[in-house]
Structure 1
Amino acid sequence: MILKNYKSLLFLFISVVVAYVVHQLVFYFFKIDQQTFYYSLEQLYGIFFILSFVIVFILLMIKKRNFDQLGMSFLLLTSSKLVFYYLLLKPILNRTHYDIRIEKINFFVLFVLFLTIETVLTIRILSKKP
């Protein structure tokens, strides 16, 4: 019963683990040096995962209380997360001592990946009316 209620969180965790493994393989095959990155890949995945976990958990709680506000809550939470991510990205944008193109692309890809996962999970939650 509990697993049924939180299947979305399990899907989030599995998706993140698969994405992390694929991301590491891409870096390995293209010989991308992560040592010069401001944030390590593990740090970024950890931060993105924690925020996504919190958002999905809050959405599951909102679904129980007031299903009609679920979509607006998702938009508000995602907007708040976007502000936090901008603050997280600022040190990367201020770096000038080497080429940061790959690091910016990496951050953007992670943002889009996690936003996609959260959107899919929200659609699943919305499609199952209580």
Structure 2
Amino acid sequence: MKIKDFSAVLWAFMISAMAFLIHKGLFYLLFPQAETAFAFPLLTIYGFFTACCVAITLTSVFIKGSSVHSVGQFFMLLTFVEMALCFGLFYSGLSSSGTSVSFEKGNFIIVFLFFLAIETILTIRLLNKNQ
């Protein structure tokens, strides 16, 4: 394996950090009190999804080295595991009702979909290299 193959992991970290800073800045400017009512702060959510994104990207890099045809299957399996972990870890804080909770639920699903898009794009780029 070449060191260039691991550039996707660096991209995952950089995109995550930029998204977190933009998200935090938007909350600071537009909704200054919204994050204080959240059950899980943005740093926790972004930390969890960044760790999952890096794990999925690293696994995709290693799987590609041994069998290119299995990368898609492992990607789908790890995405399912990520969603199961999300449900298990964050369900208790997001299951209550209220106006701030619905805002938090929307925020959570947007962050999840954003990281799902990042993981998918990085995996597609990884598979399309050298073709």
TM-score, length of structure 2 as denominator length: 0.90
Counterpart Cα distance in 1 of 2:77 and 2:118? 17
Does the 8 Å CA contact 1:37/1:103 hold for their aligned counterparts?
A: yes
Give the number of equivalent residue pairs. 130
Q: CA deviation at 1:31?
A: 2.1
Counterpart Cα distance in 2 of 1:56 and 1:2? 15
Q: CA deviation at 1:2?
A: 5.1
1:73-110 deviations in Å (ceiling 9; x for gaps)? 11111111111111223113332466311100110011
Counterpart Cα distance in 2 of 1:121 and 1:4? 13
Counterpart Cα distance in 1 of 2:58 and 2:23? 25
1:28-67 deviations in Å (ceiling 9; x for gaps)? 1212421111111111111111111111101100000111
Instruction: Report percent identity of matched pairs.
Output: 30
Q: CA deviation at 1:114?
A: 0.3
Does the 8 Å CA contact 1:59/1:74 hold for their aligned counterparts?
A: yes
Structure 1: give runs of 5+ residues left out of the alignment.
none
Matched with 1:23 is: 23
SS at match of 2:105: helix
Which sits farther off after the overlay, 89-98 or 22-31?
89-98
Matched with 2:45 is: 44
Does the 8 Å CA contact 1:56/1:121 hold for their aligned counterparts?
A: yes
Matched with 1:128 is: 129
Does the 8 Å CA contact 2:38/2:100 hold for their aligned counterparts?
A: no
Q: CA RMSD in A?
A: 1.8
Counterpart Cα distance in 1 of 2:52 and 2:59? 11
Does the 8 Å CA contact 1:67/1:129 hold for their aligned counterparts?
A: no
Does the 8 Å CA contact 2:94/2:104 hold for their aligned counterparts?
A: no
Does the 8 Å CA contact 2:37/2:100 hold for their aligned counterparts?
A: no
Matched with 2:72 is: 71
Matched with 2:89 is: 88
Counterpart Cα distance in 2 of 1:129 and 1:62? 16
TM-score, length of structure 1 as denominator length: 0.91
List, as ranges, runs of 4+ consecutive aligned residues in structure 1 with deviation greater than 4 Å: none
Matched with 1:9 is: 9
